[in-house]
Chains A and B, each alone.
Chain A
Amino acid sequence: MSSPEQWTHPEPREGPAATAAAPTAEQVIAGLRATSEGGPELVQLLTPEGERLENPEFDRYVADVTAEDLRSLYRDMVLVRRADREANALQRQGQLGIWVPLLGQEAAQIGSGRALRDTDMVFPSYREHGVAWCRGISPKEILGIFRGTDHGSWDSNAKRFHPYTIVIGNQVLNAAGYAMGQRFEGKVGDGDSEATMVFFGDGATSQGDVHEGFVWAAVYDAPLVFFCQNNQWAISEPTERQSRLPLYHRARGYGFPGIRVDGNDVLATLAVSRWALDECRHGNGPVLIEAFTYRMDAHTTTDDPTRYRHSDELEAWKLKDPIERVRVHLVRHEHADQDFFDSVQADADELAADLREFCFNMPHPPVNQMFDHVYAEASPFVDAQRDEFLAYQANFAGGEH
C-alpha cells in the first residue's frame, strides 16, 4: 500500500521527480486511500481495541491520568457527540439553517481541549464544538451561529476561546499575533507560563495565512501550538490534493517540531498536546500537531459525501472509533461498570433534550442588533440608517398584513 512518504523522494538527486499522490484504482475500489493509515510515526497510546501501548516519550505526560480521569474524558466525548447528533437532527428538522458536524473528531478535540489551562488562549476554526465544551462553553452558545440569530454568544475574552472563524486559515495568523503578545508581555519561560492553541484542518494547510502563520510564529518564537485536525477531507477534496508530504512534515521547513498523533485516541492527543503546550510555555514553541482523524459525517449538513468517497472507507474508520476504544478499555480494566455508562447516557440525553428545548425557544434577534455593534465608537451614518429603518418599520406597527 502506498504511503505519503512515497510521494516524495527521501534523497535528493535520486530517481525521477516526485509526483502528486494518485491512489491506484485498486486502492480506490478498496476504499484504502494512501492516507487511511497514519504511518509508522503515529503516536498512539490506546489502540482501537482499547489496548494501552507503552510510549517512553509520551507516557509521562499522562502518568497522572487516573481511571476517574479516563471516565471523565469518555464522558466528555459522549456528551459532545450527543450534542452534535442532536444539532444535526435539529438541522434536519428545520430548526437550524446548517450544522457542522464533529462526528469522529471527539478524541482530537477533547484530548487537546483538556490539555489546555484556563490561562491559555484558543483560536478555533468552526468545527471545534468539543474544544469549546472543554472551555466551559455550552453547545447552546454555539447554536446561534447555525440558527442564524448571532455569530456565537460566548464571551471570548472570559473563556479565552476566540470567536469561530469561517474564512479558512485566517485565525492562524490571529493566533500567531496573540501568542507573540504573550511573549512580549513576558508570559513565556517556565511551566506556569501561557500558551496559545490554534485549530485548523487539512484543507487550511493550503492557505497562505497558515503558511504565514507558521513563519510568524517561528521567527518570533511564539508559544503557539498549531493543532491541525487532518480529517482526510476538505469537503470533497482528499488530503492528497493539499500536499505531497504528510502534513506534520511541513513544520520542519519552518524550523519547528511537527508530530503526528492518532487523532482518534484521546489519551494520545492529551499527551501530545500537553507536551506541545509545555514546550511552548518554556519558550520552545511553536509546535505543529497533526491529529490524524476522520470526518465521519458530511462537511456540513448541506454536503453529500456519497458523491466523492466510498462507504468502505467510512466502515474502515468506524473500527477506529474514538469513543468505543475508551469504553472497551474501561470495561476490560474494570474501571467502569454498567451504572457508569448508563449515567453518562442519561446525562447525554438530558443535555440533548435541554439543547433541543433551548433551540426551539431562541428569540428572533432584534433588528437594531445588526446596526449597534458595527463600531465601538458609533458612526453617525450607520446610526442614521438604523433610525431611518426603525422609523420605516414603525409605520407598519399595529397594521394588518
Chain B
Amino acid sequence: MAAPVLNKKPGATTATQSLTLGKALNQGLRAAMEADPKVIVMGEDVGKLGGVFRITDGLQKDFGEHRVLDTPLSESGIIGAAVGLAVRGFRPVCEIQFDGFIFPGFDQIVSQVAKLHARTLGRVKVPLVIRVPFGGGIGAVEHHSESPESYFAHTAGLKVVSCSNAVDAYWMIQQAIQCDDPVLFFEPKRFYHSGFMKTEVDTTATPDPLFASRVVRAGSTATVVAYGPSVKVALDAATAAEEEGRSLEVIDLRSLSPLDLGPVFESVRRTGRLVVVSEAPSEASLTSEIAARVQQECFYSLEAPVLRVTGFDTPYPPAKLEEEFLPDLDRVLDAVDRSLAW
C-alpha cells in the first residue's frame, strides 16, 4: 500500500489516495490538525482506541493527549467544555459516539453553542464541530441507529451538514473545522468501512463549497433528493429506474442547514416531480421543510405532490425490523411510480 500523501508536493499536479469514507474522515481530520494547532479532537474513546469506529485512529499517537482527548463519559461535558475551549481560542472537534447519545448534550448545543454568537452580537464565536455517526442499517441495539439531524436544522445558530461519500468526507470535515460557526457533522456510519465506497480522493483538488447541494446524477423524469446514507439508496434507485427507461435526477443535499435548494428548484422546474428520501421520521422534519419550500417556489411546475420516503414515525425499531423501517430502493421506486401516475 502506498504511503498516504497528505500535502501536495511542489510541482505535483495531483495526489490521490484510495480511501473508504471512514479513512477519508480520518485523513481529513489529520490534515486539519496539521494545518492549525488550535484544532483539538475530543470524545469518548477517541484517543488510544481511535474511536469505536476508528475514525480518529492514530491521531492521539501523532498529536498527543492534549490535542486528542479521551474525555469522561459525559456528553453534556464534551459539548459544554468544548464551548469553553472555543471561547479560549481552540477549534474543538467533538465526537458523539452514537447518534442516540447526543441528547445529554442537547441542552449545551441548543442553549450555548447555538446562541452565544447571537447573544453577544457577534463578539463571541463558537467554531466547533460536533461529529455524529448517524443512521441505521448496522443491526445495532436501541439508540445506535437514529437520525436526529432535524432537531439541529430546526435550531437557529447551528449549521448542519452530512457527507455521503469519501471525497466529501475528506473535504467537508476540513471545511467544517475552518468554519467560524458551530457545525453538526452527520456521518453515514453504515458506510464507514464499506469497500464499495472506496474512492480515489485527490487531496490537491479544490473542493466544492461546504454549504452547497450537488446534482450527483442528471436526469429528466423525476427528481430525487437525499443526503447522508440515503444518497446511495437514491443512486441505486436511479440505476434501477434507468432499466425501465426512467431518468431520475439525484441531488445530494450535503448541507442540511442552511439548505441549498436552488439546484432542487431548478431540477423540479424541469421534471415537475420530487421524491425526498431520508431515514429520519417524516413528521416536522427536514423532508417536510423541503416539501414546503418546493411547493412555495415551484408551485406551477409541479405535476404531482412532493412525496417523501422516510423512516416511520416510530421509535427506531429492533434491528430485525430495520430493513422494513429504512427507505430502500423499492420504496423509492414505488414513490417515483406514484408521482408519475398522479
> Do A377 and B179 touch (CB < 8 A)?
yes
Q: Which of B66-94 contact A (CB under 8 A)?
A: 66, 71-72, 74, 76-77, 79-90
Give Cα distance in the complex from A212 to B120, angstroms: 25
| B88→A177 contact, CB < 8 A | yes
Show 10 residue pairs from A and B whose CB-CB distance is below 8 angstroms, ordered by the A residue: A152-B119, A167-B111, A167-B112, A178-B84, A181-B84, A212-B80, A213-B77, A219-B72, A369-B121, A374-B157
Is B123 interfacial (CB-CB < 8 Å)?
yes
Question: Which A residue sits closest to B72, measured CB to CB?
Answer: A215
Nearest chain A CB to B152 CB, angstrom units: 14
Does A170 contact B107, Cβ atoms closer than 8 Å?
Answer: yes
In the complex the two chains form, what is the Cα distance from A153 to B156 in whole Å? Answer: 21
Q: A170-B112, A381-B259 are in contact. Are A176 and B87 (CB under 8 A)?
A: no
Instruction: Note all chain B residues with C-beta closer than 8 A to A176.
Output: 77, 80-81, 84
Q: Is the CB of B111 within 8 A of A216?
A: no
- Give the complex CA separation of A340 and B112 in angstroms: 44
Report the separation of the CA atoms of residues A381 and B211 in the bound assembly, to the nearest whole angstrom: 12
Bound state CA distance, A215 and B124, in angstroms? 26
Chain A residues closer than 8 Å to B266, beta-carbon distance: none
Query: Quick check: B83 and A173 within 8 Å, CB to CB?
Result: yes
Nearest CB of B to A374, in Å: 5
Residues of chain B touching chain A, judged by Cβ–Cβ distance below 8 Å, are: 40, 66, 71-72, 74, 76-77, 79-90, 104, 107-108, 111-112, 116-125, 127, 156-157, 159, 179-181, 257-260
Between B40, B81, B84, the greatest number of chain A beta carbons within 10 A of the residue's beta carbon is seen for: B84
Q: What is the bound-complex CA distance between A180 and B81, given in angstroms?
A: 8
Min CB–CB distance B266 → chain A (angstroms): 15
Tell me if B107 and A167 are in contact (CB < 8 A): yes
* Interface stretch of the complex, out of A154-162, A343-351, A354-362: A154-162
Q: How far is the CB of A59 from chain B (nearest CB, A)?
A: 34
- Chain A residues with a Cβ under 8 A of chain B: 123, 150-153, 155-157, 162-163, 165, 167, 170, 172-182, 184-185, 208-209, 212-213, 215-216, 219, 369-370, 372-377, 379-382
State A304–B42 Cα separation when bound (angstroms). 45
Q: Cα distance A215–B83 when bound, in Å?
A: 16
Shortest distance in angstroms between B180's beta carbon and chain A's nearest beta carbon? 4
Find out whether the CB atom of B77 lies under 8 angstroms from the CB atom of A374.
no
Tell me the bound Cα distance from A153 to B124 in angstroms.
12
Q: Which of chain B's residues have a CB closer than 8 A to the CB of A373? A: 117-118, 120-122
Bound CA span A213–B119, Å: 23
**CB < 8 Å: which of B72, B123, B181 contacts A212?**
B72
Please determine whether A173 and B180 come into contact, CB atoms closer than 8 angstroms: no
* Contact partner, A173, options B80, B90, B118, B181, Cβ 8 Å: B80
What residues of chain A lie closer than 8 Å to B257, measured between beta carbons? 379, 381
In the assembled complex, the Cα of A155 lies from the Cα of B119 at a distance in Å of 11
Say whether B74 contacts A212, CB under 8 Å: yes
When the two chains form their complex, are residues B119 and A175 in contact, meaning their CB atoms are under 8 A apart?
Answer: no
| CB < 8 Å neighbour of B112 from A151, A174, A184 | A174
Q: How far is the CA of A381 from the CA of B123 in the complex (A)?
A: 22
Contact status A163-B116, CB under 8 Å? yes
- Interfacial chain A residues near B66, Cβ < 8 Å: 184
Kindly list chain A residues whose C-beta atoms are within 8 Å of the C-beta of B90: 181, 184
Known: A167-B107, A170-B111, A213-B77. A376 touches B180 (CB 8 A): yes
A219 to B159, CA, bound (A): 31
Which residues on B sit within 8 Å (CB–CB) of A167? 107, 111-112
